[in-house]
Structure 1
């Protein structure tokens, strides 16, 4: 549409320049403000989907499942840290209001995260510290090979997260967290290992 108006009120060159500039601006906005969403379980399945798109999906008690929908770079690391923290705050407020059992685990679905840089790794370390202070356990689901390599090389996996808290699917992560909740009444930040891991 912008190219059309550029051609009508200017020339073909102006129309193309306007279209390219708007496309680049949209791309930069997407990279700096990636979409994040809360995921819920589709009843009677092992499928987890965005609760806004699937209103009949159900939030799993004591778990917060968040989806990150873009690579984690210096341009969006601060935004993602704030957004994840805000999701946790909102979920804890919702739980207090409803009287449900307290939040114990935060699962990050990283299936759409194709890459991560040093700023992204620092953001993950900050998120882990925030969760440790709140007695929450961070769990990663479906991180890509490149992301796992960088997190391992930076020692985030060994020193902060633990290999036992990375899973191939959200379903496996939910099962492991639910198993830990039902079999152990210890603090979620303990070093107990889940029963099923990558």
Structure 2
């Protein structure tokens, strides 16, 4: 599967109900407000776009953390704010490929335990596959009612998806 920014690849396909955001920098006090604002704005834009187009509503926000080499305490706080935002909107926050240093700090701060422990995947493809599977399940609110942990090793569906957005600074 290949994931790319839809702004750079106009022929890319969107994944209905899923917003994928790539964070490509360490998360520190100098950029955490910017990242929080951008994530919020992209969620707003995506929700507005799906409503106006009559498409499936947004249900999952996947943060691709492959390029995030480090995070400080203000970055941890930023994630807590973003988690509250997505919870208020009835969305599920999903993390893809947070590195070992980032995971160590998130675990130490108990962020993972308190926010999205069952929603962390090794790759964006696995995260998309699990979210896609949950979107097609029979329960009405998969983010709240179902445990995705059993799907953490899903290989995907052989489809080509593209990034809907990318964050850089």
TM-score computed with the length of structure 2 as normaliser: 0.86
Give 1:179 shift: 0.7
Give 1:186 shift: 2.9
Unaligned runs of 5+ in 2: 154-169
Match of residue 146, structure 1, among 95, 101, 114: 101
Rounded Cα–Cα distance in structure 2 between residues aligned with 1:191 and 1:49: 31
User: Which structure would you say has the larger Rg?
Assistant: 1
Deviations 1:88-128 (A, max 9, x none): 00000100110001100000000111000000000000000
Match of residue 117, structure 1, among 63, 72, 87: 72
**Which residue in 1 is equivalent to 2:61?**
106
Rounded Cα–Cα distance in structure 1 between residues aligned with 2:10 and 2:103: 32
Give 1:188 shift: 3.9
Secondary structure in structure 1 of the residue aligned to 2:151: coil
- Higher RCO (C-alpha under 8 Å, 6+ residues apart): 2
Rounded Cα–Cα distance in structure 1 between residues aligned with 2:13 and 2:127: 16
Q: How many residues align structurally?
A: 152
**Which residue in 2 is equivalent to 1:182?**
136
Match of residue 15, structure 2, among 57, 60, 82: 60
Moved over 6 A (4+): none
Give the superposed CA RMSD.
1.2
- Is residue 92 of structure 2 the alignment partner of residue 137 of structure 1? yes
Higher helix share: 1
Give 1:191 shift: 4.9
**Which residue in 2 is equivalent to 1:24?**
none
